[in-house]
A and B are shown apart, each in its own frame.
Chain A
Amino acid sequence: MEWRDQGVLLSMRPHGESSAIIEVLTPSRGRHAGVVRGGGGRRFAPILQPGAQLSLVWRARLEDQLGTFAVEPLRARAPLVLGDRAALAGLSSVCALLAFALPERAPHVAMYDLSIALLDLIVAGGDWQAAYLRWELTLLEDMGFGLDLSRCAVTGERENLAYVSPRSGRAVSVAGAGEWAPRLLPLPACLLGQGPASLADLVQGLAVTGYFLEHRLAPALGDRPLPEARRRLVDILSRGVNPSEVSPSGDGQ
């Protein structure tokens, strides 16, 4: 068995004395693991960093074997963000969440394209935080836990949407929430794609996606804890938020 493709490196762990097992996300094969002979050595150290774009040749005797990768670097991303704590946390979170959520060897072309675009935006130093939030929404949707923020789940209205139901993942308007408002998740405008997002809005948006990642997606994946890298990203972004900017959140019950 042999195939050639390119992909983004999600994780690398040493294997034996000098080899490494890597996980990559490719457009046609999805998340795929394999051994890189000599991958634990000094020559590969700068290449096998999360976020790196690699040219890949995978070989194995049988389709269901782990197999080995021959890798060539196409583009490094991590070295460009090592000095920027938020960008580094963003890149780590993207790679860790993809490794956490996507099933092995199942192509997710749209998710691949979106992830590559996001990683490139992070590395370019653009306004990536809002794009990251939209990426998490798409990841939830791709995994079957998408939020329906188009209309109020109670009244059906499309205006004044202010909350998300933690049970259904559907938007709820101010009128529809009524006395249930404290139990709902606040819905920041940036999740509706309305206007530029403040950092406080983004953090609130990440609280919403984080809730569904933790309480819907993670249980479906064997109740594994969410990657530490995501928590670190939210911590870093939250530190930049003035506490008075954050509206009180519901308890999500």
Chain B
Amino acid sequence: MADTPREIEALIEILARLPGLGPRSARRAVLHLLRRRGALMAPLAQAMQIVAETARDCLTCGNIATSDTCAICASPQRATGEICVVEDVADLWAMERAGVFRGRYHVLGGTLSALDAVGPEDLGIPRLLSRVRDEGIKEVILALNATVEGQTTAHYIADALRGTGAAVTTLAQGVPIGGELDYLDDGTISAALRSRRSF
């Protein structure tokens, strides 16, 4: 808008690039921040400054950390001999939210994709193999998405891990908690039926 200061307009433009926000919602967010300058805007700016200066990828697993080694890789309690391979940091956070897995992670940063020219080296798969050998890993859990690209990557990793001595497992596929069969797609139902177990 013509009468909005250039600096504020620049802030709106940057916020509008964030996922889930457009120009209108970015404008509302900036207005909200401006009204709560002391309580919200200044701490937000400070927090962003700190994260921008310190955030980096963990050199071991690819998780986002504020030092070269993330808290999970640095923790001796997490050295259980298990590595959970996930596609993205968001997946790692989801696994941590569940609070069930107590081992370490390996973040691929994507999946093998011919369309996007993503190969094994781009995903840190060689680094995963050396971790399995060096850290004496007994089990590698492939927690990749149940998509064609996710499972193609899972099969590739399983093939690459052959001969390392580590057991390779994958997450189950089927009915989600709270899921109603009537609302499930036929692929999920057939996967669930194939993975049925004694009850």
A79 contacts B187, C-beta separation under 8 Å: yes
Kindly state the separation between the CA atoms of A178 and B15 in the bound complex, as whole angstroms.
Answer: 72
Known contacts A91-B148, A96-B114; A80/B187 CB under 8 A:
yes
A88 contacts B151, C-beta separation under 8 Å: yes
Residue of A whose beta carbon sits closest to that of B191:
A79
A75 contacts B186, C-beta separation under 8 Å: yes
Interface string of B109-147 (1 = CB under 8 A from A): 000101100000000000000000000000000000011
Residue of B whose beta carbon sits closest to that of A86:
B155
Q: Total number of A-B contacts with CB less than 8 angstroms?
A: 63
Question: Does A117 sit at the interface, judged by CB under 8 A?
Answer: no
- Chain B residues with CB under 8 Å of A47's CB are 185
B146 contacts A82, C-beta separation under 8 Å: yes
Q: How many residues of chain B have a CB within 8 Å of chain A?
A: 22
Choose among A50, A79, A92 the residue that contacts B190 (Cβ–Cβ < 8 A): A79
Q: From residue A119, how far is it (CB to closest CB) to chain B in Å?
A: 13
Known contacts A76-B187, A79-B190; A88/B147 CB under 8 A:
no
Interface of chain B residues 143 through 199 with chain A (CB within 8 A)? 146-148, 151-152, 155-156, 158-159, 173, 185-188, 190-191, 194
Question: Does A177 sit at the interface, judged by CB under 8 A?
Answer: no
B115 contacts A13, C-beta separation under 8 Å: yes
Question: Does B20 sit at the interface, judged by CB under 8 A?
Answer: yes
- Chain B residues with CB under 8 Å of A46's CB are 185, 187-188
The chain B residues found within 8 Å of chain A, CB to CB, are 19-20, 112, 114-115, 146-148, 151-152, 155-156, 158-159, 173, 185-188, 190-191, 194
The chain A residues found within 8 Å of chain B, CB to CB, are 11, 13, 17, 45-47, 49-51, 73, 75-76, 78-80, 82-83, 85, 88-89, 91-92, 96, 227-229, 232, 239
